[in-house]
Amino acid sequence: MAEVSKEILDNTYEALQSVKQSGKIKKGVNETTKSIERGMAMFVAYASDVQPAEIIAHLPKLCEDKKVPFIEVPSKLDLGKAIGLNVQCSAVSVENAGSAESSLKSIISKITGKSSEKKESQAKEAKKEEAKESASEKKE
């Protein structure tokens, strides 16, 4: 996943702290996976420094399949602190945002806006490549 700005990361951590106080959150890869599969997840955050990486490798694809917005954060320690734990946390799922709903929606719109722009540019590049290939085939 592309680098996320520090502003978005800070806003995400703040929103997760608020969700912890007034909403419902699931902690850990297993609970997060179940939450996504059951259609309960509104938003998912997972850490990129999880070892081995296979532990969280399924989360981005699962989120895309279930149309759940997600963000990759750099540190599982920071993710754990954001949700009020004294230990590391590899992944979290927000099931009910509580009072943090507006800030969470703002973060989601920033994240999905960036990913949709990236997908659009990739689609345009793919179309250009196809056009070049078909043009070269016609010349032959």
Residue 1, pLDDT above cutoff 90: no
Please report the pLDDT score of residue 3 as a whole number.
67
Q: pTM of this prediction?
A: 0.76
Q: What is the pLDDT of residues 29-62, one digit of tens each?
A: 999 999 999 999 999 999 999 999 999 999 999 9
CA–CA dist 22, 2 (Å, integer)? 30
Measure the CA–CA gap between 2 and 111, rounded to whole angstroms. 10
- Domains of the chain (ranges plus CATH)? 6-113 (3.30.1330.30)
Q: How confident is the model at residue 113 (pLDDT cuts 50, 70, 90)?
A: confident
- pLDDT tens-place string over residues 48-99: 999 999 999 999 999 999 999 999 999 999 999 999 999 999 999 999 988 8
